[in-house]
């Protein structure tokens, strides 16, 4: 269980959800995990849990949309560690905003600023810590960065940008032995989903999850640990000849063109987990 032994890893959005699960898994595999998030209290709890389990982790408060904050964070990492081996750009937000002509400009700017610009800024200031020794960068896109959703054009634009930014970074840094890949999760049981759709015990949350299990070929929502396992593969030497790719981990949602027989086949809905 030491696929990342002695590697210095940075994870943004590490307080909860996919970032939290990845921080735990990386630490289990021997990495020193530098955890960054705006929610410092929850982040500290995550780091303490990793340390209590015998892992090495640190907590840094960080707003990835602030260039000054990202520069200061990168400087702090450089002073303490000198280099990093893995960067997991996971921080992101999401919110419905209505049809494009009604979509609030400030909401569009906020989502782009955190999701897309944040990925750019953190990469810009931490890549210099990887140039000498190489490494792996993993950007979190979404199935919503490969296709579109109703009333979420800001999120679609941000995640679509991350998908192609990943390819650009892979080309830019391949000769520096830095691999750059992405993960495109489907619907995952995280606090973000709870805030958007309702918690599992709420009426709205139940309706949302029923719809998601119906539309997903695997018949359930994904788990943060499952996304962390994809990140571990991309961070480790197991993916040493993989770069410029975005791995879709959506339970099969993007495998079909339209629901077709799923719409009227009773056994399909009944077979969901």
Helices first, then strands: H and E counts in the chain: 10, 7
Q: How far apart are alpha carbons 154 and 12 in whole angstroms?
A: 20
Angstrom CA distances, 226 to 22, 49, 233, 255, stand at: 9, 19, 11, 19
What's the Rg (C-alpha) of the chain?
Answer: 19
- What residue has token string 């009944």? 270
- 3-state SS, residue 222: strand
Q: What is the dihedral of CA 127, 132, 136, 139, to 10 degrees?
A: 10
CA distances from 59 to 205, 223, 253, 266 (A): 31, 23, 35, 49
From the list 103, 125, 155, 173, the catalytic residue is 155
Contact between residue 25 and residue 48 where contact means Cβ atoms under 8 Å apart: no
Contacts of 132 (CB under 8 A, 6+ apart): 83
Q: Give the whole-angstrom CA distance, residue 86 versus residue 171.
A: 17
Backbone angles phi, psi at 209, to 5 degrees: -70, -35
Q: Is 173 a catalytic residue?
A: no
User: What are the residue numbers of the active site?
Assistant: 155
């Amino acid at each position: 269980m030491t696929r990342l032994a002695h590697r210095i890893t940075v994870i943004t959005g590490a307080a909860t959800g996919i970032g939290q699960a990845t921080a735990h898994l990386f630490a289990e595999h021997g990495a020193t995990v530098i955890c960054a998030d705006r929610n410092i209290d929850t982040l500290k709890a995550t780091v303490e849990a990793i340390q209590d389990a015998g892992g090495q982790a640190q907590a840094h408060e960080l707003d990835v949309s602030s260039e000054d904050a990202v520069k200061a964070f990168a400087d702090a990492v450089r002073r303490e560690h000198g280099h990093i081996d893995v960067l997991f750009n996971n921080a992101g937000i999401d919110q419905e905003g209505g049809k494009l002509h009604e979509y609030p400009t400030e909401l569009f700017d906020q989502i782009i600023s955190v999701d897309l610009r944040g990925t750019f800024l953190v990469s810009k200031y931490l890549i210099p810590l990887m140039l000498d020794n190489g490494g792996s960068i993993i950007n979190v896109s979404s199935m919503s960065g490969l296709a579109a959703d109703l009333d979420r054009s800001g999120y679609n634009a941000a995640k679509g940008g991350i998908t192609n930014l990943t390819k650009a970074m892979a080309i830019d840094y391949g000769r520096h032995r830095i691999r750059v890949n992405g993960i495109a999760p489907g619907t995952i049981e995280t606090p973000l989903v709870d805030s958007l759709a309702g918690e599992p015990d709420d009426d709205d949350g139940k309706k949302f999850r029923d719809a998601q299990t119906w539309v997903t070929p695997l018949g359930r929502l994904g788990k943060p640990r499952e996304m962390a396992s994809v990140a571990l593969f991309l961070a480790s030497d197991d993916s040493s000849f993989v770069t410029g790719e975005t791995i879709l981990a959506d339970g099969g949602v993007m495998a079909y063109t339209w629901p077709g027989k799923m719409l009227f086949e009773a056994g399909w809905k009944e077979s969901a987990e």
